Amino acid sequence: MYQLEHTKEFYLDSPWNLPYRRRIEKLKEAKKLGKKTVAYLYGGFDSSTFRYRGYNVAGTLEYSLYWAGACFEYQDRIDLACNLDAVDVLIIIRCEQDEKMDEFMAEVKKANIPVGYDIDDLVYDPRYVEDLCTAIGVSEFAMKDAWSEYMKRIRTVAEQSDFFISTNEFLSGYLNVDFSKPCYVLHNYLNWYQERVSEEYFNQKQKMRSEKPFEIGYFSGSPTHVKDFMVAMPEIEKFLHAHDDTVLKIVGYMNFPENWRKLVDNDRVRFVPFKPFVDLQFEQAKSDVNVAPLINNIFSNCKSELKYFECAIVGTITCASPVYTYKCAISQGENGYICEPGEWLDSLEKIYRMSDEEVRLKQQEIREVALKEYSCRNQLKLVEDILDEVVGM
């Protein structure tokens, strides 16, 4: 693991928390300057879906000469309905139906504003509830019914859209078939906060050697990933037993199975509480390798590759399951490793046995690829092209 110093710069944990007045004025001022505008609507600002699909994209448009974007949440709908003259395009992010959404959408349609539905998971139709529940390990009928109802509410809103935006081509294929409307792909990517702090941590790593213990990092975004993690855990356990100078670090949410409790008691598995997104880059930078196992089914193949690129930007190598987005993002042995069942142990061994110089060069390579593909500024033309096309609908 790398003994890094935490950045001394001050970063807000939730930089999107601005008063409504400031957010809507941003669009009004842009209109005065002759720019077109896009409003991103999400249920409630958070560091997960909203950050990637709303905040990061609106941040990319800060570099645009032609477009401006701002983000809004459910509690803004009444006010936003009164300010639709400031909006040229509305993009709804994974919003579900309720009475106020029905009223809001009626006002948007009356204003003749193109509406896009942005979705990052296969959760828009109850037909896919079994695939979701298999992936997250849900078997109780009550939970399945709850997810099914959620999907119905998602579909009710999605059907009112004019176009879709998804996180990858696999998910886009399902949207095309199920809705027969234009669907654009905009991958998840980094924001400038992440890029700036990650550069600092990467530069620190390049000037030092990793010290023992060799640290495997698993960065869990929600408690539903236990079943995913078990894809790799038996081979990770073999690796830990084979090398006394190794540990597994789990950052975030994880109900760790009791049959591996001995590893926890012996300090071979360590837990770090959930971290705000900037602090997460610090934890990812300290690890020698990042593991991203997933149950390989339809639901998982629709997921983003964010667990790869957020680690790559700080020079941390990823071992990942062979689902669609990881196979697209990772060139085997170059900027990471794709691991079929039975291959996790071998990949971990390869990384463990790399020389300091090999590790340093590998870190440079994976960061360079990640910057090219996932830097916020590098997404500008694609975001503008999508908006230019839909504004004339």
CB of 362 closer than 8 Å to CB of 354: yes
Q: What is the pLDDT of residue 90?
A: 98
Q: What is the pLDDT of residue 138?
A: 84
pLDDT at 393: 67
> Do 361 and 383 lie in a common domain?
no
12 lies in some domain: no
**Is 266 part of any domain?**
yes
Specify whether 167 is located in the same domain as 235.
Answer: no
Do 293 and 385 belong to one domain?
Answer: no
Q: Within this chain, do residues 126 and 152 fall inside the same structural domain, yes or no?
A: yes
Whether residues 88 and 213 share a domain: the answer is: no
Q: What is the pLDDT of residues 46-86, one digit of tens each?
A: 999 999 999 999 999 999 999 999 999 999 999 999 999 99
335 and 209 co-located in one domain: yes
Residue 139's pLDDT is: 82
Tell me, yes or no, whether 6 lies in a domain: no
For 58, counting Cβ atoms within 10 Å of its Cβ (0-12 exposed, 13-18 middle, 19+ buried), the class is buried
89 forms beta bridges with 38
Q: What is the CATH number of the domain that holds 71?
A: 3.40.50.2300
Q: What is the reported pLDDT for 222?
A: 64
**Is residue 200 located within the same domain as residue 330?**
yes
**pLDDT for position 260:** 84
Asked if the structure places residue 2 within a domain, the reply is no
Q: What is the pLDDT of residues 297-354, one digit of tens each?
A: 999 999 999 999 999 999 999 999 999 999 999 999 999 999 999 999 999 999 999 9
pLDDT in the model for residue 224: 60
- What is the residue range of 127's domain? 20-189+377-390
CATH number of the domain where residue 299 is located: 3.40.50.2000
The low-confidence residues of the chain, meaning pLDDT below 50, are: none
Question: Does one domain contain both 30 and 170?
Answer: yes
Q: Are residues 265 and 172 in the same domain?
A: no
> Do residue 88 and residue 132 come from a single domain?
yes
Is there a single domain that holds both residue 229 and residue 159? no
Give how many domains the chain has, as a whole number. 2
Whether residue 259 is contained in a domain is answered as yes
Residue 344 lies in a domain: yes
* pTM for this predicted structure: 0.95
Q: What is the structure's pLDDT at 377? A: 95
Whether residue 152 lies inside any domain: the answer is: yes
Q: What is the pLDDT, as a whole number, of residue 221? A: 66
Is 358 found in the same domain as 242?
Answer: yes
- Determine, yes or no, domain membership for 215: yes
